Amino acid sequence: MTKFRVQFPGREHSKGRGIGRYTESLIEALEKTNEVELVDTNPDLIHYGFFDLFYHTLPNSFSRPTVATVHDLTPLVLSKLYPQGFRAKINLALQKYSLSKVSAVITDSQNSKKDIVSLLGIPENIIHPIHLAVAPELGKTVTQKRLGSTKEKYHLPEQFIFYLGGINPNKNLLRLAKVCQKLNLILVLGGGEFTKAPVKTFSLKERLGLQSNHPELAEFYAIQRLIASNPLIMATGPIAREDLSAIYRLATIYCQPSLYEGFGLTVLEAMTAGCPVVSSDTSSLPEIYPTGTLTFNPEKQDEIETALTAALSLPSSQKKLQLARQKEKAASFSWEKTAKATLAVYQSVLNI
């Protein structure tokens, strides 16, 4: 059987984060189908697995059938939190032009498809929503010994609210932190971004929150100050993949407070691992969690408080039912399904 010769330029973008995991996992799943050969030259089709609104991740023209994956449009949907300078606006126009020339666009959710149509003007008929998946190993049993060693390694408390991901303004972490402080709950922030220095050096006034011209900068330093000054707000630093399942199981609740998500891999990870999820009800997130999940409007702090309080006071029978629903819904996502749907896009582009 003849295989598709597919080239994935820029595979190293955002390695270790959601986008990097997408490319790695998709390539692995595609190769398992025995219908794709990964090549660096003379491809039948080029698949750009990373699209940035403000940097040139796509060329201006294409000599071969081309597919581009657009994960989300967070900076455009939440434009007040991501102000654009003159150069960014020019780059955005160039990227929009390049995207309009591709053969097909893959995106992570129905919600992202809607945004791509309305904000980038890409024809609806060439956009293909394909849900992502997570490593099935997250659902495997974790021994008590492993739970204990992981708890000690990351200095985790007996009970805690867990969040894993970036520190970007769309993550809405300040509201979640304020709720946890009010309820006297420990919030554990997982991921390397919470313990690293920013890429750029800023003034003392900016670091203290007395002056900030960019919301992303303000968010970064506000969270850093909370971690440094409040014992209820903890940061793990980078988390090894092999420790994720144990941390999700040790957590009392996984909370996703985001204002916007293109998909929400960590919500699916928590569901797979068997951690109760409390989530915002915006953007793509309702496509992931099951009916009956405790949710909230992320812009309303009192709703976050109500949802967390309700989750903590659930009777044992209801908690078991919630976890069973999460497990069942999580099982409906797989990289095999993602790969098959991606192959179908390749076939349509190549007229096979």
What is the DSSP code string of 277-328? EEEE--TTGGGTSPTT-EEE-TT-HHHHHHHHHHHHT--HHHHHHHHHHHHH
Does the global pTM surpass 0.85?
yes
Alpha carbons 110 and 337: distance in angstroms, whole number: 16
pLDDT above 50: residue 14: no
Q: Which domains does the chain have, with CATH numbers?
A: 4-133+334-349 (3.40.50.2000), 136-330 (3.40.50.2000)
CB neighbourhood size of 195 (10 A)? 13
Residue bearing the bigger pLDDT, 145 or 192: 145
Alpha carbons 191 and 239: distance in angstroms, whole number: 6
Q: Given pLDDT bands bounded at 50, 70 and 90, which one contains residue 352?
A: confident
Dihedral angle sign, alpha carbons of residues 187, 283, 331, 15: negative
Q: Given pLDDT bands bounded at 50, 70 and 90, which one contains residue 15?
A: low
Closest by CA position to 108, among listed 134, 89, 138, 82: 134
Paired with 188 in beta bridges are 162, 234
Q: What is the pLDDT of residues 132-172, one digit of tens each?
A: 999 999 999 999 999 999 999 999 999 999 999 999 999 99
What contacts 80, CB < 8 A, 6 or more positions away? 215
Closest by CA position to 255, among listed 291, 281, 224: 281
